[in-house]
Amino acid sequence: MTSPDRSYDICINGAGQDAQYGWDVTHADAERFTRDLSVSGNPVVVDNVTGLVWQGCAYGETGDDCASGSATQTDWSTQLANCDGLTWGGYSDWRLPDRYELQSIVSYGSHDPAIEAGVFPYIPRSYYWSSSSLANGSSAAWSVYFKDGPVSSRGKTYDGYARCVRWGPTPHSARFVRDTTTKGHPIVNDHEYSPSVATAAFPATPASYLWSSSSDGPYAWYVGFNSGYVDYSGKIYYDNRSARCVRSGS
């Protein structure tokens, strides 16, 4: 039996996107982020889910409310250097976030900007660079469009904003473990291209579009597994997209 689609309610009432570490359906928005103003003019934001510490303003902005200065929009290489050289909030170990870290602060229940604006004020509604290069070439890198949340690749010479991060990435053991003990029904526990998935764990994945359960009214989010971009489209216009089902781990 298929449960009713509650993803829109979860997105609006939770602290980000569906199934975000199990956080969305069990915690209030105010619990997710802590904005620290202890260093005047240099706010930092602690993500209580991921443990990452974020620059509280877009790079170039200053002030407790980020209303001073001007957000810097420049090419990918310059933004890498900007974050590497940043001293902010009493710390100097900042870096440009990877694509997954950057996407983790997108709020798919928000629009224009697609972020918790009370925690991250004065955010330009445009592209923000990640440190992650596209898997099939070094001339493009991943970015997040913080007006409504899509994740896409862009040429590194184009301009984009930056929000620096510190701590992590934390070393982990192998991310995926493929369990084939149930014959004919392999179970997968939670930088490739075409398909952009760990093929050893997810064999025969089509290099095409897969639906997610996350929606916003008549629209739903999907992932393009040719390169890994994330976008949304009308639910009823593209009914031939694939799906990969998931269940809670034990």
Give the pLDDT confidence score for residue 210 in this predicted structure. Answer: 85
* Domain boundaries defined on the chain: 7-166, 177-234
Give the pLDDT confidence score for residue 170 in this predicted structure. Answer: 52
> Could you give the CA distance from residue 44 to residue 238 in angstroms, rounded to a whole number?
41
- Using alpha carbons only, what angle is made at residue 108 by residues 93 and 3, rounded to the nearest 5 degrees? 130
User: Do 206 and 217 form a contact (C-beta atoms < 8 A)?
Assistant: no
Instruction: Give pLDDT tens digits along the chain (250 positions).
Output: 333 333 333 333 333 344 454 555 566 666 889 999 999 999 999 998 888 999 999 999 999 999 999 999 999 999 999 999 999 999 999 999 999 899 999 988 788 999 999 999 999 999 999 999 988 778 999 999 999 999 999 999 999 999 999 985 555 556 667 777 655 555 544 467 788 788 888 888 888 888 888 877 788 888 888 777 788 888 876 667 888 888 776 5
Q: Architecture of domain 7-166 in CATH?
A: Roll (3.10)
